[in-house]
Amino acid sequence: MALSPERIRTVFSEHGRRINPALGQNFCVEGALLSAAAARVCLPDLPVLEIGPGLGALTEELLPRAERVVAVEKDAFLAGLLPQLLPDTRLQVVTGDILRADVPALMGDSPYVVAGNLPYYITTPIVERFLPLLPERMLFMVQKEAAARFFAAPGERVYGAVSVLSQVYYRPEPLFSVPRHCYYPQPEVDSAVVLLTKRAPADLAALPAPDALLRFVRTALAMRRKTLVNNFPRDGRVAALLPAQGIPENVRAETLPPQTLAQLCLLYENAVLPCEI
Ligand code: SAM
């Protein structure tokens, strides 16, 4: 059950604290939505890594559906309060920045899923941090504009690394629209819940390593108006492999579909640098 706005205000004031907008603290007050979201991301017997649990509205819905929940919260006050709000031996609250957390140390080598109502100010860094780690599923509550990145097609303004990696390694699915009144304090924009489901092992076999693809796409799209080749100055490998792929030398990376960029990355990683003697 998510806390009501009144209860959220009381919890903070009872402890002499204030909601911290700088940490993107917009708490979800729509319990039914969180329950439906948790049901879609959890897999039987798998642990969940939750990003930014806050007062535990989503955590509470994840716990009955997960093997255990590891929740990373940057606000030390909230991280200290959460075990009192949700006493459960299967909940491990870690105080810290999710961008610096040692995920393998927290989750071990076994499969896990990721869920979070993300702090809007670091949505893209969080998503770009987790995509290369390839958790089984990821559920993100994000602002609508950020949600569009997962589904963007070549040529769209928000097409970028998040679109490419999400579509190559995962099937992204829009689950719910979340009107701004579902949060307290109310933000200025609406949000959405997005679910990413990892593709089958056979589909992942012939792909580049995700961190290599992230590096490649970041470079390829660094200057969007430049050609792909010009975004790799002093590196002849990209120019050398385009003709065999039937791709014109003046192509811009933002016009290439995710699978083509993945294929180019694979060839690029395996290419021998042309000799310039
Ligand atoms: N999960 C809660 C909910 O749905 O009501 C809170 C979501 S609120 C949008 C984002 C949460 O992320 C806040 O609790 C905030 O303190 C926390 N947070 C902000 N930056 C963080 C970071 N770098 N690492 C971990 N947590 C962070």
Any atom of ligand 1 within 6 Å of the Cβ of 23: yes
Tell me: pLDDT of 275 over 80. no
The percent of residues in the chain predicted with pLDDT above 70, rounded, is 98
Any atom of ligand 1 within 6 Å of the Cβ of 242: no
Any atom of ligand 1 within 6 Å of the Cβ of 61: no
> How far apart are the CA of 157 and the centre of ligand 1, in A?
27
Indicate which atom in ligand 1 lies nearest the CA of residue 27: 5
Which carries the bigger pLDDT value, residue 261 or residue 1?
Answer: 261
> How far apart are the CA of 134 and the centre of ligand 1, in A?
22
Residue with tokens 């958790």: 135
Q: Return d(Cα 36, Cα 90) in angstroms, integer.
A: 21
pLDDT for residue 44:
86
Q: Return d(Cα 206, Cα 221) in angstroms, integer.
A: 23
The separation between CA 150 and the C-alpha centre of its own chain, rounded to angstroms, equals: 9
Site to probe by mutation for ligand 1, drawn from 98, 127, 129 as the one with most ligand atoms within 8 Å of Cβ, is 98
* pLDDT tens-digit readout, 199-236: 999 999 999 999 999 999 999 999 999 999 999 998 89
pLDDT for residue 277:
62
Report the C-alpha dihedral over residues 60, 62, 65, 67, rounded to 10 degrees: -110
Indicate which atom in ligand 1 lies nearest the CA of residue 52: 12
* Separation in Å, CA 61 to CA 37, 97, 197, 213, 263: 9, 22, 19, 34, 39
3-state SS, residue 56 = coil
* pLDDT tens-digit readout, 20-41: 999 999 999 999 999 999 999 9
pLDDT for residue 164:
98
pLDDT for residue 152:
98
Report the C-alpha dihedral over residues 82, 115, 33, 84, rounded to 10 degrees: -10
List the Cα angle 213/219/221 in 5-degree steps: 100
> How far apart are the CA of 150 and the centre of ligand 1, in A?
21
